[in-house]
Structure 1
Amino acid sequence: MLPPKTFQPLLTGPAERVPALCPDEEEGLRRVMRAYRGEPYCLVSKWVIVELDVEQAIIDKLHLDGLHPCVLFARRVIYDSRGRYSRENYVLTSPLKWLDECYFVTQNTVYVLIGGGERQRCKYNHLIGKPHPATNSQP
């Protein structure tokens, strides 16, 4: 996983501010326990919803899997219900399944977005550091 100082320069264009939909940790925990009881969850802050610039073939593949070309980059993990991420660490998620109020939902985890954040773009190839096989046109 890319460390925050390495990841930030990969983002392109101006950051769009996203207002806080969940103001604090206590409210976030209360909401996720009510809406997603029993699901793995992770409370995060200092977050960026990253819209990936990808080839249409990759978008089509993601859509077939019920996913969207977005990932979440959070500079601060507050609490992870499965203990995968330590407090104050960062996380870069798998693709978005759906975005619902203050929840960024992936196939495995509900990320609770605490406080305001940003929305920004990133080229997929920059994120993974090499061309994606579906877009590699070598003979």
Structure 2
Amino acid sequence: MVTLNEISQLLYGAGDESPGWQDSEEELISLAAKTFPGKAFCVVRQWILIDLTVNPDEQEKLSGLCLLPATLFAHEVVLDSRNRFQPGMWVRSNFGISSSAYMFETKRTVYLLLGAGQRKAASLAAAFSMKAC
């Protein structure tokens, strides 16, 4: 069972600082369009790249599905290309399939990491306990 303390630490506790994209939002969107043509994107701020702590069986399952043991949480959506999320909302991604310093890709979306963020470790249960109502 996930505790309130685990969730609080994940959302607001200390993590490893990550710089993210420091130039303009438009330049980041343009880079994403060239790198992932036609793929939905979501520009986010105040983001947390979550490295999931998984056991060997879970790791094997994820690897077999070509998924990373990672997800992304962002406190603020800036822009969603398909209007699934409104500006100012929070968002948590599904498992990643690729990741770079400025982008976190899932099967359906590329999350564009605007400004500084954090990298933290968390359990599967803690990371995926956050759901929109």
TM-score by length of 1: 0.79
Which is further off, 30-39 or 61-70?
30-39
Q: Is the 8 A contact 1:10 1:126 kept in 2?
A: no
Change (3 A) 1:103 1:114: same
**Alpha-carbon distance between aligned partners in 2 of 1:71 and 1:125, rounded to the nearest angstrom:** 12
Q: Report 1:56-135 matches (<5 A).
A: 56-128=56-128
SS of aligned partner of 1:104: strand
Structure 1 gaps of 5+ residues are 130-139
**Alpha-carbon distance between aligned partners in 1 of 2:37 and 2:6, rounded to the nearest angstrom:** 32
Percent of paired sites with the same residue: 27
Q: Is the 8 A contact 1:77 1:86 kept in 2?
A: yes
1:20 partner amino acid: G
What's the CA shift for 1:22?
Answer: 4.4
Residues 1:11 and 2:10 are matched in the alignment: yes
> What are the Cα deviations for residues 54-87 of structure 1, in whole angstroms up to 9, with x where unaligned?
2211111011011111100011111111111111
Q: Is the 8 A contact 2:6 2:126 kept in 1?
A: no
1:9 partner amino acid: S
Provide the alpha-carbon RMSD of the alignment.
2.3
Change (3 A) 1:68 1:33: same
TM-score by length of 2: 0.83
Structure 2 gaps of 5+ residues are none
